[in-house]
């Protein structure tokens, strides 16, 4: 399936290659470079490239291209998912998935890749198994290893691979038994210029950090499970149980994992926590424009909206911005043409406002497009959908674990579109005649 893997950094340097079958010359990447050049931005490189006798399937993560070489038919998503999994494993092992981290740990990276694929077909991909096979690096161990010559390859054999629950390693022991669950919800919304909602939905995940001894069997139930419209599970969750009782029953993997991701559909009215009044206009005469944005809290259920950022991608002709903010700071980057306004907390009394003028390039025509606003925000201790965890029970082990649940709501892809006057265009007929 997957024949080879090349890691390429942003300056088109192949800094790692791994072959699972016979060796393929790295010149195959020339096809990739060609396409990359044509695409311009990294995110526009098509994930699948036909390269002579091969196919290149690539992903772009953390400024690195993971380019895999394929020789025959394989579901593209299979490869893409796997590559992301590789990136996540690196992240898990080294704390970051950057070029320098990979170069520093090149041997571990190689060992990992060796275990993850056999002849191009995934072999051991569960993080719990991999960690038993190859221990993640830490400073203490690397010092000890260099002195004693011991190694970071697990001495014990990964028996988890052979059990019915491959995601959990055997013989887990903790002195403090803890299980934490973070309910994180993101609001995806598109607002039009008047502030009314074009489209809104909530995407949520429950990330768990479970440090429990032995083989605990957990059951997590919700106050209002009907809210969850569409869910996807970690393989440990018993699907039948969810179908029949709407509770999550599972034997958790050890450590951090994503238990569940869910979707709260648009049918349930999504509470939009803030509102935005915006007015960005460019004058026909003279090279300047005006900007006036006000942000205020809307439905926050008594919680404070924090870490509010407003990001605006300005048209190319905007040279600089001269604005005053009643709260927070703003920065304008004239190279990327982005205006970022860091507001911080939103208070009910005083509405933050950003106002001022924009300078445009001299002589350039007035920009046609109106910029859209992207908004970031965070609300602690609130799941905006209203989802609430009811209880967490543990079976199979004797001790009493510490259990914690945390809720956070964030803005996901939260966008305020500026709608324009195109509506009129459709009704106005133009009857100009050609002069002969």
* Residues 175-234 within binding reach of another protein (CB under 8 A): 190, 198-199, 201, 203, 214-217, 219, 229-234
Burial classification of residue 217, based on how many CB atoms lie within 10 Å of its CB (0-12 exposed, 13-18 middle, 19 or more buried): middle
Segment contacting another protein by CB under 8 A, of 106-114, 177-185, 283-291, 324-332: 106-114
Residue selected from 35, 74, 209, 392 as contacting another protein according to rule CB under 8 A? 74
Q: Which of residues 138, 153, 178, 380 is near another protein by CB under 8 A? A: 153
Q: Does 251 bind another protein (CB under 8 A)?
A: yes
User: Does residue number 236 form part of the binding site for another protein (CB under 8 A)?
Assistant: yes
Q: Among residues 211 and 249, whose Cβ is nearest to another protein?
A: 249
Contact with another protein (CB under 8 A) among 303, 338, 370, 392? 370
- Identity of the residue, 324 or 430, whose beta carbon is nearer to another protein in the bound complex: 430
Considering only residues 4 to 33 of the shown chain, the ones binding another protein according to CB under 8 A are 9, 11-19, 21-23, 26
Is the CA virtual torsion 80, 81, 87, 89 positive or negative? negative
Q: Does 346 bind another protein (CB under 8 A)?
A: no
Q: How far apart (Å, rounded) are the C-alpha atoms in residues 288 and 362?
A: 9
Cα torsion angle, 312, 318, 324, 329, sign? positive
**Binding letters toward another protein, positions 277-306, x by CB under 8 A:** ------------------------------
Measured CA to CA, the distance from residue 430 to residue 432 in angstroms comes to: 6
Q: Which residue bears the tokens 């939260």? A: 414
Rg (CA), the chain: 26
Torsion angle defined by CA atoms of residues 22, 26, 30 and 36, in that order, rounded to the nearest 10 degrees: 100
78 is an interface residue for another protein by CB under 8 A: yes
Three-class DSSP category at 423: helix
Token reading at 375 = 């908004």
Taking the least distance from each CB to another protein, the nearer of 77 and 301 is: 77
Question: Which of 295-303, 338-346, 355-363, 410-418 is the region at the interface with another protein (rule: CB under 8 A)?
Answer: 410-418
DSSP 137: P
User: β-strands 217-222, 255-264: how paired?
Assistant: unpaired
Candidate list 38, 84, 246, 350; residue touching another protein; CB under 8 A = 84
Place of tokens 């060609």: 34
Give 393's strand partners: 219
Query: Is the Cβ of residue 134 or residue 295 nearer to another protein in the bound state?
Result: 134
């Amino acid at each position: 399936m997957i024949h080879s893997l090349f890691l390429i950094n942003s300056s088109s340097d192949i800094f790692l290659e791994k072959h699972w079958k016979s060796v393929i010359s790295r010149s195959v990447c020339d096809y990739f470079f060609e396409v990359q050049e044509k695409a311009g931005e990294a995110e526009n490189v098509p994930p699948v490239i036909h390269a002579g006798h091969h196919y290149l399937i690539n992903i772009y993560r953390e400024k690195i291209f993971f380019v895999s070489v394929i020789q025959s038919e394989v579901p593209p998503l299979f490869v893409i998912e796997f590559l992301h999994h590789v990136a996540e494993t690196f992240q898990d092992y080294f704390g970051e998935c950057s070029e320098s981290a990979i170069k520093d740990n090149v041997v571990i990276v190689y060992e990992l890749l060796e275990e993850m694929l056999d002849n191009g077909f995934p072999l051991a991909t569960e993080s719990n198994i991999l960690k038993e096979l190859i221990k993640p690096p830490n400073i203490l161990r690397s010092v000890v290893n260099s002195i004693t010559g011991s190694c970071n390859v697990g001495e014990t054999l990964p028996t988890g691979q052979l059990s019915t629950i491959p995601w959990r390693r055997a013989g887990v022991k903790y002195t403090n038994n803890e299980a934490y669950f973070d309910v994180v919800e993101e609001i995806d919304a598109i607002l039009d210029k008047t502030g009314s909602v074009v489209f809104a939905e909530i995407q949520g995940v429950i990330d768990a950090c479970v440090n429990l001894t032995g083989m605990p069997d957990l059951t997590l139930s919700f106050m209002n499970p009907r809210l969850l419209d569409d869910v996807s599970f970690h393989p440990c969750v018993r699907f039948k149980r969810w179908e029949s009782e709407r509770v999550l029953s599972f034997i958790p993997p050890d450590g951090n994992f994503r238990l569940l991701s869910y979707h709260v559909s648009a049918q349930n009215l999504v509470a939009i926590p803030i509102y935005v009044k915006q007015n960005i206009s460019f004058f026909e005469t003279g090279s300047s424009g005006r900007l006036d944005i006000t942000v205020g809290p809307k439905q926050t259920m008594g919680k404070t909206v924090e870490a509010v950022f407003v990001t605006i991608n300005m048209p190319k002709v905007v040279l600089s911005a001269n604005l005053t903010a009643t709260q927070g700071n703003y920065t304008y980057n004239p190279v990327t043409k982005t205006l970022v306004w860091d507001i911080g907390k939103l208070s009910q009394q005083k509405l933050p406002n950003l106002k001022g003028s924009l300078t445009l390039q001299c002589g350039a025509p007035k920009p046609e497009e109106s910029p859209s606003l992207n908004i970031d925000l965070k609300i602690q201790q609130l799941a905006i959908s209203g989802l609430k965890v009811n209880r967490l029970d543990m079976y199979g082990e004797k001790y009493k674990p510490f259990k914690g649940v945390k809720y956070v709501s964030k803005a996901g892809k939260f966008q305020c579109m500026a709608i324009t006057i195109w509506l009129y265009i459709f009704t106005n007929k133009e009857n100009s005649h050609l002069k002969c």
